[in-house]
Structure 1
């Protein structure tokens, strides 16, 4: 399984109504740390795909969701469970750190 993109328009369906936890990566093209963690998120989507979906939201093209969830800096990762934000991680981390955080919060 790979990461998928979500938008303000599809956020409810992709994230809030998902049948399993969803990690949303709030990112932007110009953000170096966002590009740095992208390969790790792709690998984690493959490794943890049966437990959690990983979706990416470009904050420049989709301003509503980041505003609604108080995203001030990027990258910000928010783990949603049952349609609610359950945990937030701000800033880039190594793949192992992201994986441990996800597994701890699931």
Structure 2
């Protein structure tokens, strides 16, 4: 369990990520979703690896339908990359740590 991983809900998403500067990774998941559970250790690793550089958060799509609708989540897991509160990229389905790290690195090293 990563101490750097944020757990958000419909009420905290705006203040924790959408109004925050910098790069963020938001993982939409659900309890019944086996691929989501497979991806969770990778999300924890990324939270530790990018501590202080990227805000990494999870949000349960079933318990937070407003946020899932706001981001037009149609499949799980959905990982949304934000920069300065705006979506810049997304991937759906399980992803390797290497692929996700490459995406985060791209947005950390390019200008907005």
TM-score normalised by length of structure 2: 0.88
Q: What does residue 66 of structure 2 align with? A: 64
Deviation at 1:71, TM superposition (A): 0.7
Partner of 1:88: 90
1:105 deviates by 2.8
- Counterpart-to-counterpart distance in 2, 1:29 and 1:101: 26
92-101 or 26-35: which moved more? 92-101
List gaps (5 residues or longer) in structure 2. Answer: none
Q: TM-score, normalised by structure 1?
A: 0.93
In the other structure, the counterpart of 2:24 is 22
- Of 50, 53, 58, 1:51 maps to 53
RMSD value over aligned CA atoms?
A: 1.1
Q: Distance in 2 between matches of 1:9 and 1:87?
A: 23
Unaligned runs of 5+ in 1: none
Write the deviation string for residues 61-102 of structure 1: whole angstroms up to 9, x where unpaired: 100011111110010000111111111111101111211122
Whether the aligned pair in 1 keeps the contact of 2:23 and 2:107 (CA below 8 Å) is: no
CA distance in 2, matches of 1:103, 1:69: 22
CA offset at residue 16 of structure 1? 0.7
Paired residues, number: 106
Match of 1:12 in 2: 14
Contact 1:23 1:79 in 2 (8 A): yes
